[in-house]
Structure 1
Amino acid sequence: MSQSASLVDYRTALTAPGARGPVVASLLGRLPIAMIGLALMLYVQRETGSFAAAGLVSAGALLGVACGSVAQGRVMDRVGPSVPLHVMSGVFAILVAVEVVAIELHAPLVLLTALAFLVGGSEPMVGPASRALWGRLLPPGRARDAAYAYEAISMEVFFILGPGLAGLMVAMPWPGTGVVVGAACMIIGSVGFAATHAARGHRPGLAKRADGSLLGAIASPGMRTVALAALGFGILIGFVEVGVPAAAMRAGQPTAGGLLLSVLSVSSVAVGVAYGLRPWPRPMHLRLPALLLGFAALITLLALPSTLWGLCLALLVAGSLITPQSTAHSVAIEIAAPQGTSTEAFGWVVTSVTLGAAIGQSISGQLVELSGPPAAFLTASAVGVVVAAVLWLRRRTLVPSASRADLSLAWS
């Protein structure tokens, strides 16, 4: 039978020996994850006066993050997180400085976009490193489940705070303040995490890897199913992130778009805590398609309201299934990822969500222009149903194997 995490389990996880240092450092390192891209976009828009140029630069950074997360994760699985985080923090600092100078000098858009890609690719991936460390600090069971739920919930908090901080800092005398402050937080947090005893003592490369394939974690059929679930989730989020601000603009309240998206995240965090106490469905191979299908159904509610207050209420309801999905993706890695690839596996989840969001945003933008926000929301729901059906067909790839019988008690 599946075990449910309790509030005691959350406390047990966060106060486990060796956990406090990494927890505090990773909080600072992950805070800017939703801040840097937006701060960069707003900075470029202020300097160039073009939203089109700013969008290209932001897209470059997004693609960089998608590529860098997997590459860094694979290296961390071999040598541990400490050295890669130190190295990438230094590279990231240099590239951010070069990008800022290029923006100030009004360099060609092609150069700004290429540099943004490198900036995104060099962002130190303290998130996957933090998530992977729980497998070493805690044994399989409810406390580790609670730790993974904490990772997902804290990320939602950062997605609330990050964009707000970016919007606030772009209004300061120098519009590049948000980029520099966000980069500084990420660097300090990542270096601090890398310097902790738990990170320095983590030597996963000494353990036998279960799969020597060049594909790494994604060679596992179960891992491909988790990546597909994350991709579908990201696509739906991308649709919503464009449709909601567009609805606010059509209602004559363009500044309300960001606030409405924050409502989505607030309900996500609130429900995420409760969901971590008693996840449903119990078996993971049923949980992923059920949660995505439920999220797709709730997104249809966004197409119904004729007022922003009605949209706000619909977002409050739809947001309830965001953190449960993020948590499920994180926990499913324990079942799906080949031995010794957990950091890279989480990198694939980050990549899938990021690419999915980019796909959803691009399609949603076209639909909003042609038919309005309701069409975008209904299309998102249809896409979610299709992906959920594919996940259902692939559900057996997430049934724990006999070799992972010790994990089946926790997740099947």
Structure 2
Amino acid sequence: MSSSASLSDYRTALTAPGARGPVITSLLGRLPIAMIGLALMLYVQRETGSFAAAGLVSAGALVGVACGSVVQGRVMDRVGPTKPLLVMSAVFAALVAAGVVVIELHAPVALMTALAVLVGASQPMVGPASRALWAQLLPPGPARDAAYSYEAISMETFFILGPGLAGLLVAMPWPGTGLVAGAACMVLGSVGFASTRAARAQRPEPARGGGSLLGALASPGMRTVALAALGFGALIGFIEVGVPAAAVGAGHPTAGGLLLSVLSVSSVVVGIAYGVRPWPRPMHLRLPALLFGFAALITLLALPGTLWGLCLALLVVGSLITPQSTAHSMAIEIAAPEGTATEAFGWVVTSVTLGAALGQSVSGQLVELSGPPASFLTASAVGVVLAAVLWLRRSTLLPRTREDLSLAGR
């Protein structure tokens, strides 16, 4: 999995027979992925007046997403994406409605948090389903690599739009507008994707997990990919707390969200170019190199004394976000046991989510004690250590035959 993708490969992938419907509907279904949690947090804060309560509820949704992505992925690998997506769309819609009622009634925070966990777990995982569908639509090669790169780039775009939309809609006369609009968008996109001919025709490969509870994670290579995703998520978590804290310290608290969006701007631009000429080419070298480079660049965030300087540093740091997301997605082709592609991507989502939660919690403590620069330098140190671990595990990502992958899952 070391090939590069040209711009013509992106066009070939997105115009492949049967791809148009899944591409359009999955875009709609994934647009609110970075919007639901923030919209829920802002809604709870507006209704209760408590950031502490809002933080607990938002964390509950994050935990739910981390758990639900793996479970849904495993089910989709067994029965295909259509039935699970339709069922979870209905459950998700019902739970969001219940959550709105509970929040409007100012129920105890414990009840709101419990419902948030269920809302997160029931979010229909159209992202992993979309990623897995490319193996059916395209043969191995540059066009499929371009499709995986497109998946990562589109996700970064949604991470730009989602928080902005949530912040805009919470200012509407009813603060729950963002949550309901995001949920409706996710349900419509997921149902639409599940109803496409390509999704309905998908035939799952026979699973080779041998009954292991770990499923795709039973493969040593998948554990390496999950570790890379965990480290990536942790560093993002450090940044997501440190940057707004720096904005508050500079006397511009509303600039935090705008500064974070700068990360995604450079990430998308560089991500397209990186997909054309990735480096290092071998995947077993690419994962540790990208995480190390990302960790090294984060030290730049500790240097600026002004928000403009921080903005420029974020542009540089953001350049290695989409290349890592793309590498994680492509590494699944090497690491995942046969018949576990959707679940494997679910493990990547879970690892990034848990890493982000860990990074945010540690960064919050460091910011309170020593300020944002200490958080950024700690993030860099953590990233370097994890990159070293990935280097030691690099042999688990050497290309193997399908027979090897099947045995790895037993």
Q: Give the TM-score band, short-chain normalised.
A: over 0.9
Q: d(CA) in 1 for partners of 2:115 and 2:180? A: 15
Q: d(CA) in 1 for partners of 2:190 and 2:401? A: 37
Report matched runs for 1:26-37 at 5 Å. Answer: 26-37=26-37
Partner of 1:252: 251
Kindly state the Cα deviation for residue 391 of structure 1 after the two structures are TM-superposed: 0.2
Letter in 1 for 2:5: A
Contact kept in structure 1, 2:124 and 2:186, CA below 8 Å = yes
Letter in 2 for 1:189: G
Contact kept in structure 2, 1:4 and 1:277, CA below 8 Å = yes
Contact kept in structure 1, 2:283 and 2:331, CA below 8 Å = yes
Partner of 2:83: 83
Contact kept in structure 2, 1:335 and 1:404, CA below 8 Å = no
Contact kept in structure 2, 1:68 and 1:122, CA below 8 Å = yes
2:190 corresponds to 1:190: yes
Identity %: 84
Q: d(CA) in 1 for partners of 2:166 and 2:38? A: 6
Kindly state the Cα deviation for residue 208 of structure 1 after the two structures are TM-superposed: 2.6
Partner of 1:374: 373
Aligned partner of residue 397 in structure 1, secondary structure:
helix
Partner of 2:157: 157
Letter in 1 for 2:392: L
Contact kept in structure 1, 2:78 and 2:207, CA below 8 Å = no
So what's the TM-score if we normalise by structure 2? 0.97
Q: d(CA) in 2 for partners of 1:58 and 1:253? A: 24
Q: d(CA) in 2 for partners of 1:288 and 1:239? A: 20
Kindly state the Cα deviation for residue 401 of structure 1 after the two structures are TM-superposed: 1.5
Partner of 2:274: 275
Contact kept in structure 1, 2:239 and 2:376, CA below 8 Å = yes
Aligned partner of residue 278 in structure 2, secondary structure:
coil
Kindly state the Cα deviation for residue 215 of structure 1 after the two structures are TM-superposed: 1.5
Report matched runs for 1:3-402 at 5 Å. Answer: 3-204=3-204, 207-212=205-210, 213-402=212-401
Contact kept in structure 2, 1:364 and 1:376, CA below 8 Å = yes
Letter in 2 for 1:210: R
Q: d(CA) in 2 for partners of 1:319 and 1:251? A: 22
Q: Report the RMSD for the aligned CA atoms in angstroms.
A: 1.1
So what's the TM-score if we normalise by structure 1? 0.97
Partner of 1:408: none
Aligned residues: 404
Aligned partner of residue 3 in structure 1, secondary structure:
coil
Q: d(CA) in 1 for partners of 2:294 and 2:327? A: 13
Q: d(CA) in 1 for partners of 2:311 and 2:147? A: 30
1:69-91 Cα shifts (integer Å, max 9, x gaps): 00000000000000000000000
Partner of 1:409: none
Contact kept in structure 1, 2:338 and 2:402, CA below 8 Å = no
Kindly state the Cα deviation for residue 4 of structure 1 after the two structures are TM-superposed: 1.2
Contact kept in structure 2, 1:165 and 1:178, CA below 8 Å = yes
Kindly state the Cα deviation for residue 203 of structure 1 after the two structures are TM-superposed: 1.8
Letter in 1 for 2:102: A
